[in-house]
Amino acid sequence: MDFEGLKSLFRKKSPWVLALEAGGCNGCIIEVAACLTPRYDVERFGILRKPTPRHADILVITGAITHQIKDRVKRIYEQMPEPKYVIAVGACPIKGGMLSDCYNTDTPLDEIIPVDAYVPGCPPKPEAIIDGIIKAIEAIE
Ligand code: SF4
């Protein structure tokens, strides 16, 4: 196996995740936090939460994309090393959800950065979020 193959194997076995709340009601980020507790325990899949985009393989975004955070989302995405994956969690980043008509929210997330997996719901259950992360891991080759 060459070096690139080894890197993919390590990423697949232990992806590092950055969770970002963009601008919703915080309901989804609370469910993401629940995934990290012993009850749902995503670490059993080797998934570790990281505080910086420079160490992250997967970006999990919750909440509506506000005008204020739009450029920051782009910058965070650009700071992640390749290959990188994005998961939109909840109705807000997918289509705006209940905040779609707000004066301060912007386009869906996938019109700002590429999205690899969508987890619908308002908020989605931790099981659905874990399923979305596993789908993103399966995309890592
Ligand atoms: S999708 Fe629903 S629960 Fe999640 S941040 Fe938006 S309004 Fe809140």
Residue 30's pLDDT band (cuts 50, 70, 90): very high
Q: Tell which one of 62, 66, 89 to mutate to probe ligand 1, the residue whose CB is within 8 A of the most ligand atoms.
A: 62
Q: Which atom of ligand 1 is nearest to the CA of 98?
A: 7
**pLDDT higher than 80, residue 7:** no
The domain in which residue 41 lies consists of 16-139
pLDDT for 53-68, tens place per residue?
999 999 999 999 999 9
Which residue's CA is the nearest one to ligand 1's atom 6? 92
CA distances from 138 to 15, 35, 67, 93 (A): 11, 18, 32, 22
Helix ranges (H only) for the chain are: 3-13, 27-35, 67-79, 91-95, 126-139
- Angstrom distance (rounded) from CA 28 to CA 26: 6
Q: How confident is the model at residue 36 (pLDDT cuts 50, 70, 90)?
A: confident
CATH of the domain at 71: 3.40.50.12280
Within 13 Å and on the Cβ side, how many CA atoms surround 97? 25
Q: Which atom of ligand 1 is nearest to the CA of 27?
A: 3
Instruction: Find the mean pLDDT for residues 35-45.
Output: 87
- Check pocket membership of 63 for ligand 1, CB cut-off 6 A: yes
Residue 98 lies in a domain: yes
122 Cα to the center of ligand 1, angstroms:
5
Q: Measure the CA–CA gap between 128 and 55, rounded to whole angstroms.
A: 24
35-44, 75-84, 105-114, 130-139: least confidently modelled range: 130-139
Q: Nearest CA to 115 among 53, 50, 35, 60?
A: 60
User: pTM (2 decimals)?
Assistant: 0.89
Confidence tier at 141 by pLDDT (50, 70, 90): low
Determine, yes or no, domain membership for 57.
yes
Question: Could you report the per-residue pLDDT of 85-109, keeping only the tens digit for each?
Answer: 999 999 999 988 888 888 888 879 9
Q: Establish if 11 belongs to a structural domain.
A: no
Tell me the sheet residues that pair with 16. 48
Number of domains in the chain: 1
Contact 126, 35 (CB under 8 A): yes
